[in-house]
Amino acid sequence: MDQGLEQVLAKLDAGRDAALDRLLAFLRIPSISTDPAHKSDVRDAAEWLRAQLDDLGFQTQIHDTPGHPMVVARSQPGQARPLLFYGHYDVQPVDPLNLWNSPPFEPRIEETPQGQVIRGRGAADDKGQLMTFVEAFRAWRDVHGELPSDLILLFEGEEESGSPSLQPFLREHAVDLRASLAMICDTSMYSDGRPAITTQLRGLVGQEVVIRGADRDLHSGSFGGLAANPIMILAQALATLKDDQGRVTLPGFYEGVQDLTDELRRDWDALGFDAEEFLSGVDLKTPIGETGRTPLEMVWNRPTCEINGIAGGYAGDGFKTVLPAEARAKVSFRLTGTQDPEKIRAAFQDHIRAHIPADCSVEFHDHGASPASVMDTSDPAFATAKDALGREWGREAAYIGAGGSIPIAGDFKQILGMDSMLIGFGRDDDRIHSPNEKYDVNSFTKGARSWARILTALR
């Protein structure tokens, strides 16, 4: 092993307790970004970070935004490939408070049957995670006498409240923030604790549709069988969005969808994903998806259409024989490959319109549209990071996908033109966004060691 790396790892091990103390101090700041009462706490967390980073030798700035501040730090320029590290220092609200076993902002190290954990709001999401790379930088500096060069750090304080300032900020500071790759530490390991790099995220198109018939709710005795029923029209339009093979029927829908590469198929097969076990956690057992696709393909590599909400007529207690004036649904598409969100939106609208009889009207409300993020894993940094993770955790790291979207990855791609490497050390049982959030001490310490290895390999 590289001698420098060996020293950095030893430094991290020796500094474990001090690093945990720093994290606990960070966690004591109740930086709840959605709650205006905590506005100054959010700034305190930004200031705390600035002090840490200044101390490490970063050039750090706090940028005000219409919401909470952005913290941007940079190491000395050099000849290395510029890397941007991202994390967020705000946390979720803590209610219901009575479900916490200890106060959310009095963090502590707890012994559990599964090992030591750091308990407190933000432990995993995202303060504990972002501190893994900060601690790696610290150990590096202690060993090498200076920080790795060409690093940009970006810490956001609004991630838990929808990141309203992020896109404008990225646009305004594009020149300063552009790197060759973004390292995002805000995800989990694969479910069984295997280290993983998330290399693809599904995109999303959201669309609300309202179908209107008569100008009022009608009596189904007087009009039933004669007047258009918007709920039936809606049901018929939605029902035909998928065929009996589970495939979306919109013309052109699968344009840009890629089959798995051999490498990804091998990696994913090796994960031994147990769909039945996964589904049993929510009281289901049978994957229902496209015929001929594996369960992991279904959630990570295949697009889908889901109805997220529907409403029309009288759905309260008892019964009212109304023939309703309108019916509405919220429908979303998860996208993969290079599917074009706006083309899919248009195809969906065409499909609905084709079901609308002369007497009815339809109204659409557009919600978010973002393409899938598929990272270019031929960038050697991916193989390098994968290898480094494998060495730290003693088992091969996997390239995995994610069924949801991580907007920041899309924003980096779209605004700054760079791919993201999503590496996180969270666990499925971290209870993020819930009472009793925790982060494994092991995730924290081996997470920092992982970054030390990755940095060494990339620098």
Give, as ranges, the residues between 229 and 258 that touch a second copy (CB under 8 A): 229, 231-232, 234-236, 238-242, 246
Q: Which is nearer to a second copy, 37 or 358 (CB)?
A: 358
Count other Cβ atoms within 10 Å, centred on residue 6: 13
Q: Are 158 and 33 in contact (CB under 8 A)?
A: yes
Can you tell me which of 171, 320, 353, 395 binds a second copy, judged by CB under 8 A? 320
Task: Name 71's bridge partners.
Answer: 62, 155
DSSP single-letter state for residue 70: E
Interface with a second copy, residue 206, by CB under 8 A: yes
Q: Which is nearer to a second copy, 271 or 310 (CB)?
A: 310
Can you tell me which of 139, 154, 327, 423 binds a second copy, judged by CB under 8 A? 327
- What's the min distance (Å) between Cβ of 290 and a second copy? 7
Stretch that binds a second copy, among 85-93, 174-182, 221-229, 411-419 (CB under 8 A): 221-229
Q: Are 401 and 248 in contact (CB under 8 A)?
A: no
Residues of this chain, 119-158, that bind a second copy according to CB under 8 A: none
Q: Are 382 and 421 in contact (CB under 8 A)?
A: yes
Q: Which is nearer to a second copy, 4 or 295 (CB)?
A: 295
Site string for a second copy, 287-306 (x = CB under 8 A): xxxx----x--xx--xxx-x
Interface with a second copy, residue 369, by CB under 8 A: no
Residues of this chain, 373-412, that bind a second copy according to CB under 8 A: 402-405
Q: Are 351 and 273 in contact (CB under 8 A)?
A: no
> b/e for 319-334, b at 16 or more Cβ within 10 A?
eeebbbbbbbbbbbbb
Q: Pick from 138, 133, 152, 150: which is nearest to 71 by CA?
A: 152
Stretch that binds a second copy, among 41-49, 213-221, 371-379, 446-454 (CB under 8 A): 213-221
Interface with a second copy, residue 53, by CB under 8 A: no
DSSP string, 8-36: HHHHHHHTHHHHHHHHHHHHTS--BTT-G
Task: Name 181's bridge partners.
Answer: 83
Can you tell me which of 108, 219, 266, 353 binds a second copy, judged by CB under 8 A? 219
Q: Are 110 and 425 in contact (CB under 8 A)?
A: no
Q: Which is nearer to a second copy, 369 or 458 (CB)?
A: 369
Q: Are 388 and 421 in contact (CB under 8 A)?
A: no
Residues of this chain, 335-364, that bind a second copy according to CB under 8 A: 357-359
Q: Are 158 and 166 in contact (CB under 8 A)?
A: yes
Q: Which is nearer to a second copy, 75 or 405 (CB)?
A: 405
Interface with a second copy, residue 109, by CB under 8 A: no
Q: Are 267 and 399 in contact (CB under 8 A)?
A: yes
Q: Which helix (H) or strand (E) holds 458?
A: helix 441-458
Can you tell me which of 62, 271, 311, 457 binds a second copy, judged by CB under 8 A? 311
Can you tell me which of 40, 261, 321, 338 binds a second copy, judged by CB under 8 A? 321
Can you tell me which of 62, 80, 109, 214 binds a second copy, judged by CB under 8 A? 214
Site string for a second copy, 266-285 (x = CB under 8 A): ---------x---x--xxxx
- What's the min distance (Å) between Cβ of 235 and a second copy? 4
